[in-house]
Chains A and B, each alone.
Chain A
Amino acid sequence: MAELDTSGGGHKKGPGVKKGKKLSTRVDLTPMVDLGFLLITFFIFTTTVSQPTAMKINLPKDVQKPEEQNKVKASAVLTIMLAKNDQIYYYEGDDPVKMQPANFKGIRDVILDKKRRTDTADFVVVLKPSKNCTYKNTVNILDEMTIDGVKRYALVDNVSPYEADLIKQTEAANGVK
C-alpha cells in the first residue's frame, strides 16, 4: 500500500515533557493512482474518437442525351424513394404502383433480398429522395449502400409527378399526415 510517511522522525524526550501521542499519518495513494489512470483513459478516448469521418460521394456526369445514359435492366433495378417522417417506399423494376412501405430498419433485408436474387453485374439501386425527406435519411440510405455492399447505385433528383402522387395516395391510405 502506498505510504507518505509524515510522522515526525524520532521522538525526543524533553525534560519534563509529557510523552505526547504522535499519530502516524500514512496516506494511502492507491485511489490517487486509480483516478490518474481513469483521467488518462478519458483523454485517450476523447481525442481519438472525436475526429469526424467523411463519406465520399461521386456524382455521375450530367448527360442529356438518353443514348449516353447508362442502360439498366428493368428487372434488376430496385428503386427506393425517401418520403417524410423517415418513411421509405420501394418497388422493383419499372412499376411504381406496386410500391411497398418500409422503414430504415427493414430496408436492409429488402436490399439484401433483392441483391441475392439478381446478378451482381446487373444489380442497380436507384435512390430518389423527395422534397420532404431529411438530410439524415439521405446520408443513412447512402451509408446503407456501403454496408450492404451495393456496387452500383444512383442518387436521382426527379421523383416524377406520377410517383409523387402515388406516394401521396399511399400516405393518405395509411393515415400518414
Chain B
Amino acid sequence: MPKVKLPRKSTTIDMTAMCDVAFLLLSFFILTAKFKPSDALAVVTPSSVQTKIAPERDVVLITIDKDNKVFLSVSDVNKPQKIELIDAINTSKALGLTDAEKANFSNKPSSYIGVPFNKLKSFLDHTPDEIKPDQLTGIPVDSTNNELADWIAAAKTAFAGGKMNLVVKGDNASTYPAFQGVKNAFMKNDEMKFQVVTNPAAVPVGSELYKANMSRKG
C-alpha cells in the first residue's frame, strides 16, 4: 500500500453566520408576536375540536364568568359602533349619561358593561381601573328581566349595515341558566347564529370526524 498520508484538513466550521441567522429569525418572530392585553375578566374557556379561528373585529362579546355574571364588550376597533351603542342605550332607557361617561365606554380600550341599567350611570362615572369585576353584579339575564336583550337590540342598530359577530365566551364553571339567559336574549332579537369561544383541541383519533377529515384530505 502506498504510504500516502492524506493531508488532514481542519474540520472546524465557523458558526458565527449561523448564529446571526438564528437571531435574525428570532427577532422577526418576536416582533410579529402580538401579545393580547390580558382581559380584565378572567375566563377559562372549554376546549373543542373546531378549527375556525374566533373573529377579532366586528365582535360583540358576551362574557359569562364563573359566578354566572354576564358582561358585554365590543371589539376596540369598532369605535364608531361603540359610540352609537351607548347613545342608543342612553336614549332608549333615558339614563341621562354625560358625554364624559359615554366616552368612558366608547374611548377606553377593553371597556365592558357589567351592571344593570339602574347602576350604569355610576358605573361609567368611575374609570375602569378602579372597579374590579368581582364587585359587579353583571347584566341581568333572568327571564323576568333580561336586560341583555335590550343591549343586543341596541348593538343591532349600531352595527346595522355591517356584519356583527355575536361571540359568547363562557367559563367552564358557569352553570346552564346563565347561558340560557344569553341564548334567550339572542332569540328575542331574532339573532339565531352566534359563536362560542373555545380552546383548540385535537380531533380524537378514530372518531367519525377524524375519518371524515382523513377522507377529505386523501
Q: List residues of A whose CB falls within 8 A of some B CB.
A: 1-4, 29-30, 32-33, 36-37, 39-40, 43-44, 46-47, 49-62, 82, 108, 112, 129-140, 142-143, 146-149, 157
Q: Is the CB of A54 within 8 A of B54?
A: yes
Q: Is the interface of B mostly helix, strand, loop or mixed?
A: mixed
Q: Which chain A residue lies CB-closest to B171?
A: A135
Q: Which chain B residue lies CB-closest to A44?
A: B29
Q: Is the CB of B55 within 8 A of A36?
A: no
Q: List residues of B whose CB falls within 8 A of some A CB.
A: 12-16, 18-19, 22-23, 25-26, 29-30, 32-34, 36, 45-55, 64, 167, 170-180, 183, 186-187, 192-200, 203-204, 207-210, 212
Q: List 19 A-B contacts (CB under 8 A).
A: A2-B18, A29-B18, A33-B18, A39-B26, A53-B52, A54-B53, A55-B50, A61-B192, A62-B187, A134-B176, A135-B170, A135-B175, A140-B46, A140-B48, A143-B48, A143-B49, A147-B210, A149-B208, A157-B183
Rounded to whole angstroms, the CA-CA distance of A51 and B35 in the bound complex is 11
Q: Which chain A residue lies CB-closest to B179?
A: A135
- B residues less than 8 Å from A140 (CB atoms): 46, 48
- A residues less than 8 Å from B196 (CB atoms): 54-57, 139, 142
Rounded to whole angstroms, the CA-CA distance of A81 and B167 in the bound complex is 25
Q: Is the CB of B208 within 8 A of A55?
A: no
- B residues less than 8 Å from A51 (CB atoms): 53-54, 200
Rounded to whole angstroms, the CA-CA distance of A146 and B198 in the bound complex is 14
Given A112-B208, A148-B207, A139–B48 Cβ distance below 8 Å? yes
Q: Which chain B residue lies CB-closest to A35?
A: B22
With contacts A33-B15, A47-B33, A149-B212 known, what are 4 further pairs, Cβ within 8 A?
A: A29-B18, A47-B29, A53-B48, A139-B48
Rounded to whole angstroms, the CA-CA distance of A3 and B15 in the bound complex is 7
Rounded to whole angstroms, the CA-CA distance of A59 and B51 in the bound complex is 20
- A residues less than 8 Å from B50 (CB atoms): 53-56, 143, 146
